[in-house]
């Protein structure tokens, strides 16, 4: 992997955003994909009887969208073309309000800290983020990622666990 420590993989204050809108079908499909059987995510009549206007999204659905944004953002090269990559180390999410089907959700992350870690051959990046609708904050969170510059050298990377032709 090529690493130039004079170039930074992110900047404190850097902000990235995305808009999402989840249909009832997408909410049901995600809940099914993660084996979330809560009827609030599947059954419109049940959700309405519980006081909601329709099915509501699983917290893990919006949390997954928010976390995936970091992977996509830091997989893009820097403005000068320098490749970068990121690995999520940890996230903390707080659910503030239910997410309704067919509402616009604005997802946002801001870089709040960046610290070089020689031992990890990269930078620890700290982020604060949230998901909002016209009703207010739906979810808020913090994230920590390991960021590196350059393209990983496949020859130097250890083989995947269980890869054929490898010896333990």
Q: pLDDT of 45-101, one tens digit each?
A: 999 999 999 999 999 999 999 999 999 999 999 999 999 999 999 999 999 999 999
* Mean pLDDT of all residues in 27-32: 97
Please report which confidence band the pLDDT of residue 151 belongs to, taking 50, 70 and 90 as the band edges: confident
Query: Is the pLDDT at 159 greater than 80, yes or no?
Result: no
Report which DSSP code applies to 54.
Answer: S
Which pLDDT band holds residue 3 (cuts at 50, 70, 90)?
Answer: very low
Q: List all residues 6 or more positions away from 64 whose beta carbon is below 8 Å from its beta carbon.
A: 30
Secondary structure of 85-151 in HEC code, one letter for each residue: EEEEEEEEEEECCCCECCCEEEEEEEEEEEEEEHHHCEEEEEEEEEEEECCEEEEEEEEEEEEEECC
Q: pTM of the full predicted structure?
A: 0.84
Please name the fold of domain 15-22+58-149. Thiol Ester Dehydrase; Chain A (3.10.129)
């Amino acid at each position: 992997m090529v690493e130039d420590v004079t170039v930074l993989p992110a900047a404190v204050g850097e902000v990235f955003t995305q808009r999402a809108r989840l249909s009832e079908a997408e909410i049901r499909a995600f809940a099914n994909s993660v084996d979330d059987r809560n009827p609030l995510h599947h059954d419109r009549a049940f959700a309405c009887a519980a006081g909601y206007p329709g099915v509501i999204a699983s917290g893990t659905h919006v949390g997954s969208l928010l976390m995936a944004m970091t992977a996509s953002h830091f997989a893009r090269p820097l403005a000068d073309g320098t490749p970068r990559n990121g690995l999520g180390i940890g996230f903390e999410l707080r659910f503030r309000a239910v997410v309704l089907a067919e509402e616009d959700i604005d997802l946002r992350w801001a870089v709040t800290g960046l610290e070089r870690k020689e031992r990890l051959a990269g930078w620890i990046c700290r982020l604060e983020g949230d998901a909002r609708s016209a009703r207010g904050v739906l979810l808020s969170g913090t994230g920590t990622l390991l960021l590196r510059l350059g393209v990983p050298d496949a020859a130097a990377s250890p083989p995947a666990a269980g890869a054929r032709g490898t010896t333990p």
